[in-house]
């Protein structure tokens, strides 16, 4: 029996010729990641068990991104604890305010993760790096602590769902619509404990930012990881970033999949997830007209340069609707700078949006855009659970940057293709 | 090891945001987290939970964020065991790692009701609903998992050998 792409990466990191679904293995890690929320818990565990050293100061990344610039005194203390730990152990990839970005936008951008890697991160969206052809998965803080000590983690080898992409995306349809559609098809536990393996001729039509967005939300279908084959798009992206030699793995032709799902990109419509689960999807044609109070454009899902350009192209020459707050958050310092140089910040501000420094802030109801009772947000983030962005009676509608920007202009959920032309 | 307590029953897809909302993630203090456990799904939980009580839920319990604060808050609130049809994988791993016993059992998850008195034997995997007078069988933990739970978590178990 052949192996899936995920299984091949895991086998290689476990020093095994072959692995099969369900097998328990111990794998070497190329990178261990934590943030300002999860690292303090990991550091407490690290210290509690009496550890004196880390496995490799170059292979741990600590990113302060959830509640920075510090939102309150408690958040400041968590950052201080993480900063002190990074200093004590001379951790090279420590990213503080001024260098930081939202972790899953930052690590690929900085070339810290790449094809063939095996990565764990104490953040559920660590599955993002599957877009680069890596195995990467979210874990908790205890696993992060054990990973920092030993450089290893145990895994149950996952079975896989094959997701075949056909055709090419239409204008105003993006990677976000692909993943929301898929979650709508298979449900929030449709891939529980499994890999999502993306394949098919449609892959080559997807930009790296589209792929990063798709892999990012694999967890929202319960998946352990979501992985793309490595192709010219991947290698072009990695050129000049990833310093290690990319290791390219591909699924065997006789690899076993428990299920196959086909998505025809040609006919995919802009898709919106209604409260309070990402699986509650509707096309924009069914969703249009729902009144919004806030639009959030950013996050580890959709805060990348392409997302900023898409939003800016729609907001250019237009105004944010009266009664709606529009919050734009470039995901990293580099993206912020690129937005500045391309004139996008000016477009956002002239449209009546606010632009924040990189932070996870509103996505998880931390700060920088909390919703009040009964308020609704259209958001390019990844979760719309009860109370996710604020009050327990608020609502989050997940959508692409194009839909969020168009809806910011009209004040209601809007198909970007139907916006009246700018005078 | 035996758990014994009153059941707090929930439905499908209980996510870690409702178990412990992110507005409280500016601390890692177990006591502080316990004060807000289940706040966004059951505002009465904190005032009614007693040491030893048991959470029972349907499918995909603990989905969403990888925050270990979620099982920490549940354990620190006094809950002795969580039973569900299925668990989200990161939550499952985190619970074992911090020493919170958790059992998958669809039958028990469907039949046990809010307020029932339930006893769980972790050695055998037997779940007894004393109110219904009915027994359910879950997969018992293998010895290495039992060891992690008895030592109070993965890193404690490593430290003690």
Is the distance from CB of A83 to CB of A34 less than 8 angstroms? no
Residue A343 or residue B146, greater confidence: A343
Give the closest of A72, A78, A383 to B64, CB-based: A383
d(CA A345, CA A380): 18
- Cis peptide before A349, with omega less than 30 degrees from 0? no
Please tell me what DSSP assigns to residue A291. Answer: B
Domain ranges across chain A: 5-263, 272-416
What CA dihedral angle connects A152, A66, A116 and A260, to 10 degrees?
110
What CA dihedral angle connects A352, A356, A358 and A362, to 10 degrees?
-90
Q: A267 is written with which tokens?
A: 């006919």
**DSSP one-letter string for A63-130:** E--SSTTT-SHHHHHHHHHHHHHHHHTT-SEEE-TTT-B-HHHHHHHTT-S-TT-EEEESSGGGGGGG
Interface of A with B in 174-193 (CB under 8 A): 188-189, 192-193
Please tell me what DSSP assigns to residue B39. Answer: T
Give the closest of A50, A124, A193 to B64, CB-based: A124
d(CA A271, CA A257): 27
Is the distance from CB of B125 to CB of B103 less than 8 angstroms? yes
Dihedral pair phi/psi, residue B3, rounded to 5°:
-110, 150
pTM value is: 0.97
* Per-residue pLDDT tens over the stretch A315-367: 999 999 999 999 999 999 999 999 999 999 999 999 999 999 999 999 999 99
Q: Domain A272-416 - what CATH class?
A: alpha beta
Q: What pLDDT does B145 receive? A: 83
Residue A181 CB contacts under 8 Å (≥ 6 apart), including other chains: A263, A268, A271, A281
Q: What pLDDT does B141 receive? A: 85
What average pLDDT does range B93-117 have in this prediction?
96
Give the closest of A66, A145, A392 to B40, CB-based: A392
Percent of chain B surpassing pLDDT 70? 99
| Pairing of the two strands B2-9 and B117-121 | antiparallel
Q: What pLDDT does A102 receive? A: 98
| Pairing of the two strands A60-63 and A31-35 | parallel
Name every chain A residue with its beta carbon within 8 A of the beta carbon of B100. none
* Per-residue pLDDT tens over the stretch A250-292: 999 999 999 999 999 999 999 999 999 999 999 999 999 999 9
Percent of chain A surpassing pLDDT 70? 100
Contact call for B156 and A49, based on CB within 8 A: yes
Q: Which of A45-49, A89-93, B150-154 has the lowest mean pLDDT?
A: B150-154
Q: What pLDDT does B160 receive? A: 60
**DSSP one-letter string for A222-272:** T-SEEE----HHHHHHHTTT--SPP------TTB--SEEEEEEGGG---EE
Q: What pLDDT does A224 receive? A: 98
Q: What ipTM goes with this model?
A: 0.94
Q: Is B4 on the interface with A (CB under 8 A)?
A: no
Residue A16: pLDDT over 90: yes
Interface of B with A in 141-160 (CB under 8 A): 153-156, 158-159
Is the distance from CB of B112 to CB of B7 less than 8 angstroms? yes
Q: B111 is written with which tokens?
A: 């039949």
Residue B26: name the closest of A126, A362, A38, A371 by CA: A38
d(CA B23, CA A154): 31
Q: What pLDDT does B158 receive? A: 75
Contact call for B97 and A75, based on CB within 8 A: no
Is the distance from CB of B96 to CB of B152 less than 8 angstroms? no
* Per-residue pLDDT tens over the stretch B15-64: 999 999 999 999 999 999 999 999 999 999 999 999 999 999 999 999 99
Residue B56 vs residues A13, A120, A343, B12: alpha-carbon distances, Å: 37, 30, 53, 10
Q: A228 is written with which tokens?
A: 């793309």
Contact call for B17 and A44, based on CB within 8 A: no
- CATH for A5-263 is 3.30.499.10
What average pLDDT does range B109-137 have in this prediction?
97
Q: What pLDDT does B51 receive? A: 98
Mean pLDDT (chain A) is 97
What average pLDDT does range A164-174 have in this prediction?
98
d(CA A269, CA A415): 9
d(CA B73, CA B14): 14
Contact call for B60 and A78, based on CB within 8 A: no
Name every chain A residue with its beta carbon within 8 A of the beta carbon of B67. 37-38, 140
| Pairing of the two strands A281-283 and A271-273 | antiparallel
């Amino acid at each position: 029996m052949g192996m899936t792409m995920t299984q091949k990466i895991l086998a290689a990191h476990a020093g095994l010729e072959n692995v099969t679904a369900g097998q328990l293995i111990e794998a070497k890690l190329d990178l261990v990641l934590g943030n300002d929320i999860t690292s303090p818990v990991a550091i407490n565990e690290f210290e509690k068990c009496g550890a004196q050293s880390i496995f490799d100061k170059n292979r741990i990344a600590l990113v302060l991104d959830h509640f920075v610039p510090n939102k309150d005194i408690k958040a400041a203390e968590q950052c201080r604890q993480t900063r002190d730990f990074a200093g004590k152990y001379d951790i090279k990839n420590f990213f503080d305010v001024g260098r930081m970005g939202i972790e899953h936008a930052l690590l690929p951008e900085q070339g810290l993760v790449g094809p063939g890697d095996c990565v764990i991160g104490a953040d559920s969206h660590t599955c993002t790096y599957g877009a680069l052809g890596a195995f990467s998965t979210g874990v908790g803080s205890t696993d992060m602590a054990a990973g920092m000590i030993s450089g290893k983690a145990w895994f149950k080898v996952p079975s896989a769902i094959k997701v075949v992409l056909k055709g090419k995306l239409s204008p105003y349809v993006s990677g976000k619509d692909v993943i929301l559609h898929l979650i709508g098809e298979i449900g929030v536990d449709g891939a529980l404990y499994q890999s999502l393996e993306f394949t098919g001729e449609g892959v080559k039509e997807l930009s790296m930012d589209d792929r990063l967005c798709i892999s990012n939300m694999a967890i929202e279908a319960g998946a352990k990881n979501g992985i793309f084959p490595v192709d010219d798009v991947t290698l072009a992206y990695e050129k000049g970033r990833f310093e290690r030699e990319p290791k390219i793995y591909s699924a065997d032709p006789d690899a076993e999949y428990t299920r196959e799902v086909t998505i025809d990109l040609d006919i995919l419509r802009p898709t919106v997830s209604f409260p309070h689960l990402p699986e509650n999807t509707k096309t924009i044609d069914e969703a249009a007209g729902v009144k919004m109070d806030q639009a959030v454009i950013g996050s580890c899902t959709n805060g990348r340069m392409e997302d900023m350009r898409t939003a800016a192209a729609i907001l250019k020459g237009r105004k944010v609707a009266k009664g709606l707050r529009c919050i734009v958050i470039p995901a990293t310092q580099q993206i912020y700078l690129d937005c500045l140089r391309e004139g996008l910040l000016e477009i956002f501000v002239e449209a009546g949006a606010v632009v924040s420094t990189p932070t996870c802030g509103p996505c998880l109801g931390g700060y920088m855009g909390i919703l009040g009772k009964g308020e609704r947000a259209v958001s390019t983030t990844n979760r719309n659970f009860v109370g996710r962005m604020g009050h327990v009676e608020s609502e989050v509608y997940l959508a692409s940057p194009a839909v969020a920007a168009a809806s910011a202009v009209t004040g209601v959920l809007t198909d970007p293709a139907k916006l009246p032309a700018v005078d | 090891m035996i758990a014994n307590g009153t059941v707090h029953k929930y439905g499908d897809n209980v996510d870690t945001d409702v178990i412990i909302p992110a507005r409280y993630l500016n601390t890692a203090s177990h006591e502080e987290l316990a004060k807000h456990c289940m706040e966004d799904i059951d505002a009465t939980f904190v005032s009614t939970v007693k040491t030893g009580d048991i959470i029972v839920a349907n499918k995909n319990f603990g989905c969403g964020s990888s925050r270990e604060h979620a099982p920490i808050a549940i354990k620190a609130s006094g809950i002795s065991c969580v039973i569900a049809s299925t668990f989200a994988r990161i939550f499952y791993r985190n619970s074992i790692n911090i020493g919170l016993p958790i059992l998958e059992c669809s039958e028990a998850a469907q039949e046990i009701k809010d307020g029932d008195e339930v006893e769980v034997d972790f050695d055998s995997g037997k779940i007894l609903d004393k109110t219904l007078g009915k027994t359910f069988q879950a997969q018992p933990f293998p010895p290495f998992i039992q060891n992690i739970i008895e030592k109070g978590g993965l890193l404690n178990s490593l430290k003690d050998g």
